Each structure stands twice: as structure tokens, then as C-alpha cells.
A = this chain, B = another copy of it.
Amino acid sequence: MRRILFATILSLTAMPAALADEDIVLRGMGSFHIGGRVAEISGKPIREIVRQPGGPLTKYDPNGQFMAEQMYVQYFLPKNRKGKLPLLMWHGGGLTGVTYETTPDGREGWLNMFVRKGWDVYVSDAVERGRSGFSSPDVWPSEPTFLNYQDPYERFRIGEGAGSWNADPAKRKPIPGTQFPVESYGNFMKQNVPRWLSTDDAIIAAYVELVDKICPCAVLVHSQGASFGFKVAEKRPDKFKVIVAIEPATAGILANAPALKNVPVLMVFGDHVEEHPRWAAFKKIDLAYADAIRAAGGKVDVVNLPELGIKGNSHMLMMDKNNAVTADLIQKWLADKGLVD
């Protein structure tokens, strides 16, 4: 079974990607916010602030009702619909839906590619990131974390691990043969946003509301987004027709994995995973989760790209130079699952 999958996937690596100069014909596009709760704050001093230079003093009241933990979703609905279900794309930690829109070097991202392939695509910003907004320290007592330039370079398998970053681009040590557009690394840093470490439950709650509204769906998740995807699928297995997990970091709750026995899963890993202790550890957790799904009668396909001759992929597969190849690979798997007209 795995061998057949690999054979069909290998055959498509030579297929042309969708032409980027074809028009995108949409029957609709738009956005909405979903989820959220009203947080009540009281007892804080009222003060006066100037909202714009030259403007008057206006009352600033940190008390009252505040919207908290809502989630932003943007959607694109192609006219020539070929995907049988909506395709949701959930990003990873420290990022937003921009992950799927564009690449650091300005090529089309998977959003455009999958819309061109005929999927209704819904791209969201997890709670507390991007256009979802975030809450005051009165609502969330913990502080956000911020990534410096060095961190993703060394952690996302762009550079050769610890010590590969240097402020001088000429002195950086990218992994030889990397598919990541290293010359545009600064643009990738511009896509990064702060994130909190205490908001997982709120994020999961908003995703549950999203799948209750939009699904049954195909759900594509990346990195931290996979841990949310699997956990939401455990709560709403009937809403997930398939999960495509790109470098999951990490999986769901092992004891709940049997809930996914009817949800086919594709896990995709890039290059040099085993050589990086952090990613090797994550992958072990992912594979144990996959085994637990299989033990309950479910199906999980694991694709290690280097085994297919697709080399050099970083953690940011959807931004790597061969993102059209990996998009086609995913499309083929979705078609094999009967989800493409």
C-alpha cells in the first residue's frame, strides 16, 4: 500500500504545476471572524489618552466587556470547483495564514495553488495571531514570545542547526541544497508574529467552531497547527474527511487517536529530520500517534520526501522552492482519497 502510494507520487513529480499566469476565477471571496468570548474586566483605573497627534484627550477605560479569543478566516471559492469539500489551511507557531499566501521570495503559495486546483480554500489566523487580534494582560496574564532572526533559521532546518546563523548573510551556513529561499530570509522574518504559550485551549475552541460552521472538510495543517488539527479532529471526527499534516509538531492526544479511525491522514516530512534532535523527537511522537490510529483500524500514510527523491525541504515546505511539487503530491493524495472531481 505504501509502495503503491509512493509510486504514484513519484510519477507526478514530473507533472507541470498549475500555470501561474492563468486567471483565477472566483465565485466568491471574503472573510469572517468566528468564536470568541466576552471577557469582563473591572477595577482598573480610567485614564485619558490622545489617540492621534493633535487630537483631543479622550477617555480610555480598561474596564468593561472585551471581545477575546475570536479567530479570523479568509476564503476563496473558485468557480470551477473540483475539490469535493472545503480545504482548510491552518498555520504553525509564530505565524499567520500568510504562511500559505506567498513565499519569502514572492512566488505563489499553496493558497493560490489549491484555489487554482479548484478547492474552496479557507485560511485562518489562529487565535491571538494576525488579524485575530489579542487580549490585554488583564485577560491573559502571560506574555507573548518573540522570535529573533537566529531562532527559525537554526530551528526550522534552514541553516545547519545551532551556530549556523550569522547577522552577516555571507557568513550564514544554510543546509547545502536547501529548497528554502535563503536569500529572502528577511522576508520570512517579516511574516513572523508574536505568540502566547497559554492560549492552546482558546485556539482549539475557535477551530472547533470553525469546523462546526464549514465542515465536513479536508484540513491541511502545519507544525504547531497539526497539534491543533489532530486535537480538534479527536473532538469532531465526523467533520474531518482527511487530514494532511505537514511536519506535525506535534500530534494529538495519544489516548484519543482511535477517534480518527475513519479519518485518513497524510503526514509529510521534509529533509534532514532525523539529523535534527528536535524534529526527530517530534517525528517519533507523530509516528506513535499514527500507529495508534492504525491500531484502531485507521489509515495513515507517511511520506518522507527524501525517500521519493525530493531533497532539501526545510520545515517550511509550503515556502520552499519546490512548493509546486509538494502541492501536486498533496493533490494526488487527495485525489486518491476520492476528494477531487
Q: Which residues of chain A have a CB within 8 Å of any CB of chain B?
A: 23-33, 36, 38, 41, 49-56, 58, 60-67, 70, 72, 74, 76, 79, 93, 96-98, 101-102, 106, 108-109, 112, 125, 130-131, 133-136, 144-151, 155, 167, 186-187, 189-194, 197, 200, 224, 227, 249-250, 278, 281-282, 285
B36 and A190 contacting across the interface, CB-CB below 8 Å: yes
Residues of chain B within 8 A (CB-CB) of A30 are 101-102, 106, 108-109, 112
Q: How far is the CA of A130 from the CA of B56 in the complex (A)?
A: 26
With A33-B191, A51-B93, A65-B149 known, 14 other A-B pairs at CB within 8 A are A25-B26, A29-B76, A30-B106, A31-B102, A33-B190, A36-B190, A49-B145, A56-B278, A58-B155, A64-B150, A66-B147, A98-B131, A130-B130, A130-B131
Closest CB in chain B relative to A316 CB, distance in Å = 15
CB distance from A175 to the nearest CB of B (A): 19
Q: How many Å from the CB of A69 to the closest CB on chain B?
A: 10
Q: Quick check: B190 and A55 within 8 Å, CB to CB?
A: no
Give the CA-CA distance A133 to B146 in the complex, in Å: 10
* A101:B74 contact, CB within 8 angstroms: yes
Residues of B near A187 (CB, < 8 A) are: 32-33
By a CB distance below 8 angstroms, the chain B residues around A285 are 54
Taken together as a complex, chains A and B put the C-alpha atoms of A116 and B247 apart, in Å, by: 38
Q: Tell me the complex Cα distance, A76–B29, Å.
A: 11
A8–B311 Cα distance when bound, in Å, is 62
The answer to whether B250 touches A197, judged by C-beta atoms less than 8 angstroms apart, is: no
B98, A150: Cβ atoms under 8 Å?
no
Asked whether A136 lies within 8 Å of B194 as measured between CB atoms, the reply is yes
**Complex formed: what's the CA distance from A167 to B67 in Å?**
12
- Are A145 and B52 touching (Cβ within 8 A)? no
Contact of A150 among B29, B65, B74, B281 (CB under 8 A): B65
Partner of A60, one of B63, B74, B134, B145: B145
In the complex the two chains form, is A56's CB within 8 Å of B93's CB? no
Instruction: Provide the bound-state CA to CA distance between A70 and B41, in Å.
Output: 32
A64 to B64, CA, bound (A): 38
**Shortest distance in angstroms between A324's beta carbon and chain B's nearest beta carbon?**
15
Asked if B33 and A24 sit within 8 Å, CB to CB, the answer is no
Which residues of B are found within 8 Å of A66, using beta-carbon distances?
Answer: 146-149
| Cβ-defined contact, A190 with B70, below 8 A | yes
